[in-house]
Amino acid sequence: MDQRTTMAGYQAAAERALDAWLPVATDAPQLLHEAMRYAVLGTGKRIRPVLVYATGQALGIPVTALDGPACAVEFVHAYSLVHDDLPAMDNDDLRRGRPTCHRAFDEGTAILAGDALQALAFHVLVTDAALNVPAMQRLAMIEALAAASGSQGMAGGQALDLNAVGAKLNAAELETMHLWKTGALIRASVKLGALCLPEIDAETLAALDSYAKCVGLAFQVQDDILDIEGQTEQIGKPQGSDLARNKPTYPGLLGLDGAKREAERLLADALSSLELLGARADFLRWLAHYIVKRDK
Amino acid sequence: MDQRTTMAGYQAAAERALDAWLPVATDAPQLLHEAMRYAVLGTGKRIRPVLVYATGQALGIPVTALDGPACAVEFVHAYSLVHDDLPAMDNDDLRRGRPTCHRAFDEGTAILAGDALQALAFHVLVTDAALNVPAMQRLAMIEALAAASGSQGMAGGQALDLNAVGAKLNAAELETMHLWKTGALIRASVKLGALCLPEIDAETLAALDSYAKCVGLAFQVQDDILDIEGQTEQIGKPQGSDLARNKPTYPGLLGLDGAKREAERLLADALSSLELLGARADFLRWLAHYIVKRDK
């Protein structure tokens, strides 16, 4: 099976599991449930769930045991997109080519859908019966997700981003912002996949975390590059929207060529982190390439 | 020690523990941390933490072992107030007599402060070293909080409330809305206090939950009564603001006298739920009276 087929299989598994964990739209409160489902289903590359599946499968965990953690990270990611798109934050009308949640519903419903999706992520990690690990390890997964989502994780990175509009950040500040804003949840995705193995050792966990840290930053660098080079129809948001908004970006700091070299360097570091895992990490290697080379 | 002194002691314990669990304002991202601290500290009756302490102490748990769960429920409560006050929801400028979080900071920061407070609540329940229960019971506490916060809990209740403006609800619909919006977290507070006892039995848990359900509804009925009768300086928001906003309320449905009778009925039910606990539940009894008889 080639890697693209593997990837498509993981994406399909994520889609099924997300649908199953989401509240059904006919249960009250219906509008909120519709908004939650709209925010999560039908679109998205599912990079974070795929990272959970890829990491877990590299360690020999069956896909079904990885569904819950894959959904938990995607619910957190989806809630963050809903909140980031709000008028008080990035004020985006389009997300993945569709109206953003607050445009399709209303602002209040979008805020609450995000809030409920965060709670749902933790509910999944506690109650997922297919997750076959000791209770202590389940707690470690919940903590990984809570830390990645919090004030020195995703929410903190978005706060830095919000206050960085029009500001001049140096390379270290830009890296901190992205390590928190997107990096933390990408690292949590890999960590949750790894923690699905009951007897995971510290060395493997550290190697995977190093991989995830590099992939997370590379993902952001490529995002910034695509914001300049990509077409609106491919990336689903108006091209150059970060520049137009005067947000600090890697191309803005390093130049376009410098940003491309930075992405290559991070890719190389990600790959070298995986050495001790051998051939079983081949899909994780392909995925790092995919994330850095993607055109949308 | 009289009950008011006990209550003040619990409130002080909550204040200290909340301050200790909150990120310090000098750590980055500073603005976000300041907003989180502003949203939580310095005001508030701490009803939910007091319910955690009161329940735990009725079962013989020391106060220090209850600090973490008390903070977790208050962080969730505080985040919900920040989000509920936003222009897209209740659009309140004042909360507890001070500018609301989005007025003191900005909307984006307020949304993110709420998001980070929710994550912090789960972080506390996972990592609190003073909480001396088996990992499985800690997971049960996390699930109680996640369910109480989610789409068929607090967030769902607020969604119903948002869509009820101008609508005519019957008694059952109004009760569902409040059971979710405020009741769920009040029940979770009592449940978390009870789950601090490693060998808690199902009968005691059910009795306490019945108490909490009645207290939660009585709290809301009294809130609606105070919205009509209270003074702005006492309740910290403009008097009659729910009526002005055309929100369904108990006095609107039952009349003011009918609402007062409903509060009395719920109080009586709360007290009868506690019979099997004997004298050790005396503070919980006093607290039910306090919640129903409060004038702010």
Q: What is the pLDDT of residue A231?
A: 58
Residues of chain B predicted below pLDDT 50: none
- How many of the other CB atoms lie within 10 Å of CB of B246? 12
- Report d(CA B213, CA B191) in Å as an integer: 11
Q: Give the DSSP per-residue string, A24-40.
A: PTTSSSHHHHHHHHHHH
Q: What is the pLDDT of residue A166?
A: 76
Closest residue on chain B to A82 (Cα): B111
- How many of the other CB atoms lie within 10 Å of CB of A288? 27
Each residue of A12-63: pLDDT tens digit? 999 999 999 999 999 999 999 999 999 999 888 999 999 999 999 999 999 9
Q: What is the pLDDT of residue B156?
A: 97
Each residue of A104-163: pLDDT tens digit? 999 999 999 999 999 999 999 999 999 999 999 999 999 999 999 999 999 999 999 998
CB contact under 8 A, A126 and B142: yes
Contacts of A28 in chain B (CB under 8 A): 152, 156, 160, 176
Phi, psi (rounded to 5 degrees) for A242 = -70, -45
CB contact under 8 A, A151 and B32: yes
Each residue of A226-279: pLDDT tens digit? 988 875 555 565 666 665 567 788 998 899 999 999 999 999 999 999 999 999
CB contact under 8 A, A29 and B108: no
Nearest to A79 by CA among A121, A46, A108: A121
- Report d(CA A197, CA A51) in Å as an integer: 15
- Residue A94 three-state SS: strand
Interface of A with B in 199-238 (CB under 8 A): none
Which residue among B122, B139, B159 places its CB closest to the CB of A138?
B139
Interface of B with A in 88-127 (CB under 8 A): 88-89, 102, 106-112, 114-116, 118-120, 122-123, 126-127
Predicted complex ipTM = 0.95
Q: What is the pLDDT of residue A42?
A: 85
Nearest to B289 by CA among B18, B33, B54, B75: B54
- Report d(CA A61, CA A194) in Å as an integer: 9
Q: What is the pLDDT of residue B233?
A: 54
Provide the Cα torsion A28, A29, A31, A36; round to 10°: -100
